[in-house]
Amino acid sequence: MSEFEAEVKKAEQELEQGLVLSNEPFTEKVEQDEFLGELKMHAQEYGQKIQDAAGKARDFANDKFAQAGDKFKEISAKDPKELVEDAKEFARQKPGQTILISAAVGLVLGLILRGGRK
């Protein structure tokens, strides 16, 4: 018997085993179907919750983008001397925040410039 014939016989046996009807009672199959239906229902609920959360995130992002656009328009409409005066006034009122902002900007610029040299 060739290798091919052996594989054919093996496939036939597996097919016959797969076609044998199970001896499970009908009620067990119904319970499994109910369980699968319940899983499907939960999956649909979670899918809906994810869609709702994604919609809220999109609305939040659009709102923040609109606010940033308004702020950009406001800043671009000002004279550069006026911006410098506003920055000086902010530094006088809140020196601690000014130092932290300067450090953060310096760190980001350093990382950007250092990354460009690699």
Q: How far is the CA of 90 from the CAs of 57, 72, 73, 86, 98, in angstroms?
A: 32, 18, 20, 6, 8
Rounded to an integer, the average pLDDT of 21-40 is 63
The yes-or-no verdict on residue 31 having pLDDT over 70 is no
Which tokens belong to 42?
């939960």
Locate the domains of the chain by residue range.
24-77, 79-118
DSSP element (H, E) containing 110: helix 95-117
Could you tell me the pLDDT band of residue 5, with boundaries at 50, 70 and 90?
Answer: confident
pLDDT at position 38: 83
CA atoms of 103 and 112, how far apart (whole Å): 14
Could you report the per-residue pLDDT of 54-98, keeping only the tens digit for each? 999 999 999 999 999 998 888 888 888 998 999 899 999 999 999
Distance of CA 21 to the CA centre of its chain: 45
- Coil, strand or helix at 79: coil
pTM of the model: 0.42
Mean pLDDT for the chain overall: 83
Higher pLDDT, 15 or 49: 49
Of the CA atoms within 13 Å of residue 101, those in its CB half-sphere come to 8
The yes-or-no verdict on residue 100 having pLDDT over 90 is yes
Q: Which residue has the tokens 């659009």?
A: 62
The yes-or-no verdict on residue 25 having pLDDT over 90 is no
